[in-house]
Amino acid sequence: MPLRTLLILIALAVVFLAVKRLFPPARPPKKKQLKHGNMVQCAHCGIYLPEPEAITREGRHYCSQDHVDAARGQPPE
């Protein structure tokens, strides 16, 4: 009787390992790469933002029109 139980356990282990190899666990999805381009720094406040979102004036990058105006010495509206 004990030999039969041992053989059944071995057979179950072999079946389990075979099924485990046939159906590997799902991998978590890869993180998406940011496609915003290079990061630039606002010449007024220093915050970093994606280059396509920045306002560029005279070779400098700004995060908003208010900061462009502040750099020109104009009072905010």
CA angle 53, 56, 60 (to 5 degrees): 120
Name which of 4-13, 17-26, 56-65 the model is least confident about: 17-26
* Mean pLDDT in residue range 53-76: 89
pLDDT score recorded for residue 32: 63
Question: In the prediction, which pLDDT does 77 show?
Answer: 58
| Sign (positive or negative) of CA dihedral 49, 53, 55, 61 | positive
The tens digit of pLDDT for each residue in 25-62 reads 888 877 666 565 789 999 999 999 999 999 999 999 99
pTM as predicted: 0.51
What pLDDT is stored for residue 72 in this prediction? 85
